[in-house]
Structure 1
Amino acid sequence: MKISLNKIAILTTVANFELYNKTSNLFPDGIRVYVIDGRNGMHGLHSILYMFKKLKGEGIDWLIMADEDVIFKKPQSVFSLIEFMNHNNYSACGVRDGGVIKHRNKNPFAINTFFSILDFKKISLLFKAREILGNQFIYKNEFPDNLNHLEFEFDKLSLYEPYYCFYFWLRRMGENILFLNSKTFENESDKISNEVFHPNGTSLLIHTWYARSYGINKKHTLRINRILNEIEFKSNVKKPIIYKDSFFYLKMQILKTAKKVIMKIP
């Protein structure tokens, strides 16, 4: 079944708008564009919980999550990837956070959120924030994935990223995750970026990492610009709908203070 473009959206939690204003030029055409302003520290798990709150009821069937340091090479290929997921009953896709990318040796059973696609309609019906937060654990040999093909190191019991609970919850709910192949750059000027591939083998995007350093750190700015300079940019770019939790930073500071007080109570 062909999925309508008006039922697909892309969302970025942005910490660096200078970089976002460049890479968003390469987003897939014809879909809604959303931003969560993450300059107040919102990212990761907080961003996931916030996006379900803000986007519920927006008529989104499929949601693409892409950080501002993601550079799409063939953006329209995202749509055939969504069709593939829909046909094969996958609720999420992305790159494993361990064993696939040279400098990410964390949990291979969860996705790194730099790029992910969610069956937003289905997951929204299941979504319960408290249940998700209660899934930040993992049992030995819990997930049956065959990891023999993974090239780099990983830690099956890692709880390094707080957002792992979201993907563990999905898996424990019986939902299927499509893990995408990726290859780390191995050239003199860049041994950090990784290329991500469509299941059909087509190069889909490049993740450059270090978005927060763009425009600040010379090394990473030059490295990212080398990739951007090889891309042909669009002239017409759709402006995003921007969400921001204006009190997020304050709430986090209050929470940290409360935790410190509780720890001091005998």
Structure 2
Amino acid sequence: MIHSRIAILSTVINFDLYSKSSQFFPQDIQRYVIDGQNGMHGLHSIFYMMKKLRNKNIEWLIMADEDVLFKDSKIVFDLIDQMKSENYMVCGIRDGGMISHRIYNPNLINTFFSIINFKELEEIWNKDQIVKNNYLLDNEFDDDLTQLKTSYDINSLYEPYYCFYLWLRRMDKRFLFLNAQMSEDQITNTVIYNDKVILYHTWYARSYGINERHTKRINNLLELLNFQNNNNIISAPIIFRDSTFFFIQKIMKNYRRIVRKWNN
């Protein structure tokens, strides 16, 4: 079955890891990659995503980093069906209270894995409004956080991309928060839907192939999944790279430094 209006996007720093992890990505959907080797990630990646993917007839967009290893990728289609039927805009893992080393804002998600109603996002997209939403209000959201298992900070604006999700929440868009569990190594976490493991998030993509400990840890999972899923056909992704991004960011950084010195 070809899911012509569903796509998957990865912002990739480590293409060696991506070449291995992407074989477990959902099948029969278009794959896109933003080359993050020039420093593009987070909010910049979201803005570039909209620039490159608008008007491509995408209805649902899966966002998954290269250190995401799908155990059962078909479950994402069940997730999308629920999101359609119950009018959810975004699904993902809370960025606090769920994963032991992510102790930030539980009312927002971490972008390592999410699904978004891209068709609706295109209709409401407003970059200017997004960047204006990088603030918090006391008791703004009424999420039930009593079942969270680890530390969190509802006053955190740790990630610059939070403003994107704050904007969506303030537009009254529904979020489906998924469950996660820590693995035995206490670094990797699973993502769970209907009591089934969808994927492992290994973290430390930058360290793969460089740091022996993290490389071995990730390779162990890759070997396990290769044993379980050895018939996947890998389609080549469409790769986007903003060749000017690094230089523009460097210029902006120098400009901000000069302004700070001038003001002092």
Alignment check: 8 A CA contact 2:2 2:29 kept: no
Residue 229 of structure 1 is aligned with which of 198, 217, 223?
223
DSSP 3-state at the match of 1:34? strand
Who is 1:30 aligned against? 28
Is 2:192 the counterpart of 1:197?
yes
CA shift, 1:265, in A, is 1.7
**2:55 match:** 57
Distance in 2 between the 1:233 and 1:19 partners?
17
Give deviations 1:20-60, integer Å, cap 9, x for gaps.
00000001111000000000000011001110111000000
1:215 aligns with 2:209: yes
Query: How many aligned positions are there?
Result: 260
- Show the counterpart of 2:243: 246
**SS at structure 1 position matched to 2:97:** coil
State how 1:104-183 maps to structure 2 within 5 Å. 104-183=102-181
Give the aligned residue type for 2:257: K
Q: Distance in 1 between matches of 2:243 and 2:230?
A: 32
Separation of aligned partners in 2, 1:111 and 1:79: 20
Partner residue of 1:18?
Answer: 16
| Cα displacement (A) at 1:233 | 3.6
TM-score normalized by the length of structure 2: 0.97
1:236-259 residue CA offsets vs partner (Å, 9 max, x unmatched): 210000000001000100000110
Q: What is the aligned-residue identity percentage? A: 51
Contact 1:107 1:157 in 2 (8 A): yes
**SS in structure 2 of the partner of residue 6 of structure 1:** coil
Q: What do residues 45-89 of structure 1 show as CA deviations (whole Å, max 9, x unaligned)?
A: 100111011100000000000000000000111111100111110
Q: Which runs of 4+ in 1 moved over 6 A?
A: none
CA distance in 2, matches of 1:97, 1:181: 11
- The whole-number CA distance in structure 1 between the counterparts of 2:24 and 2:51 is 27
Distance 1:215 1:113 in 2: 23
Extract unaligned runs of 5+ from structure 1. Answer: none
8 Å CA contact 2:98–2:181 kept in 1: the answer is yes
TM-score normalised to structure 1 length: 0.96
Pairwise CA RMSD: 1.1
Q: Is the 8 A contact 2:2 2:28 kept in 1?
A: no
Deviation for aligned residue 1:235:
4.8
1:84-117 per-position Cα deviation (integer Å, ceiling 9, x unaligned) = 1111100000000000001110000110000000
* Contact 1:26/1:233 (<8 A) preserved: no
Alignment partners' CA distance in 1, 2:62 and 2:149: 27
Q: Secondary structure at the match of 2:98?
A: coil
Which letter maps to 2:71? K
Task: Give the Cα–Cα distance (whole angstroms) in 2 for the partners of residues 96 and 234 of structure 1.
Answer: 33
Cα deviation, residue 202, structure 1: 1.3
In 2, Cα distance between equivalents of 1:115 and 1:235 = 20
